[in-house]
Structure 1
């Protein structure tokens, strides 16, 4: 059972992780492991404490937290300078490394963590760029090591991408994903591949948005608006591959090849697996198989449930189209 955890690094990510677990009822120790003067460390830790208090207070002000619980949640987070690291890590069941994306800095952090952490405790990086097998070289007992990539702001974004290494024990993956779920997160497990899932897709989308702004396709404001009310709404309900199955992967085949030719850019060409799926009769929902298997599914019920989610989300965002003026007047008359 994981009851106490320590975070090496008191920056933005460390503070976000502290918020998440304290909010969920766990004790969290935030440790400033950089070699600073006592005065400078005290300043940093005071800033960390103030930020955690601010984000917890924000949840309270938004009606997501009972004011009576605020002080209890904040009391679950403790703040420690480097001089107290030994005692903190010695009493932890799980340690997160949350230091800057510099290999030497991470190596020092893992050396400190592993020197004091119990042998059966889990060690997790939070790297957004480095591969877990590279970092595992710095960890004593690589079978207990894996990566948990949080998306900022960590206290709000549900997703955590969990990436085990070649030596990671399956039980460690299970324990961490269960903990994340207990804290209200939505973990997914992915291979140790550059960019994991979201950063890899996000990088492609961001680069294309920049190109469109540079080319004058649309203003930055309209590009962002299109993403928020189109791309964002759609993919909050249907995943990318799920959406392909709805329309048919042959549409991507046509659209990708057309855009590649029209824009003179190979990056739009669909991957070969799309042609293979079409040839095998796995174009998506209408053929019973695509990336998902629909053969034993009540497709009509699934479609209705998905559309209901769209309606709920669009309505929540205040974007659901109203009926015409005449129909609104008719509805008023029926109610009176």
Structure 2
């Protein structure tokens, strides 16, 4: 199966397929030319991939020629310390030739999943760049030959591989400068209407229902589930979110699977709601910014908190549905900025995730 990852698309991206193929695998591995901390977190700290690491072995080889930076190395070292079944090594090129492969494989009882393409272990490569990759499910002799080829390559370059914990790796990546964004050619564009407009595609403001005692599993209507978040009924998708709190602090990446239940509710878990009692004096409101990268920033507002009244008023003035339904309305950035100009979301939206 050949897949094209479209810049800004909300589904069909490399990260999603890597996670899906890890499910049920006994072991696997990956070879990537570049890594950054966002890409490392997105894959290795995803709940489903972490579950795989608890039972299955994964060998990861990362290049150090360019882009790979100290935060990525430090994150890889921290994760591999917590997950001993994850073996991370670094390729130290002995010449001016770039180390440039990008592939991953997962061994299942019935087949070998092999993903080969252009995407690196970076947020751009996994989600937001224009990329292409092929997903192959190999059996029999094809499976055997592919695994032998991988082992042959790793054996051939063994003299140029160091454990990620080797101090020489950190010294080497400190020499790298720039990031994926620095490789892009600037494209002239009309001036945006506001500072964040170039980053924000659309905004969803949604009341979060109680849903029993598990309101952190936030319910959404079908239309927004598919057309705002990019999920699809009958096919599990994953979305990437980060919470922005009242101080403007951007939280850890939340890679969430879509969840459908028999009651025709459609859910994503929100870390910001974990452990909080459902308020008795009004409904929590989520403000979700969909960025041009296809990722999401969100703030969760509770009654009485800064911004709650402004956003509740905006929501009430634009809701035209039934009074017994949870209110969910989509806006452009200018509409929400006018209602809540002091929101910490605006500064958070300026840098790409």
Q: Which has the higher helix share?
A: 1
Q: Which has the higher strand share?
A: 2
Please report the TM-score for the alignment, with normalisation by the length of structure 1.
0.27
Which structure is higher in RCO with an 8 Å CA cutoff and minimum separation 6? 2
Larger Cα-atom Rg = 1
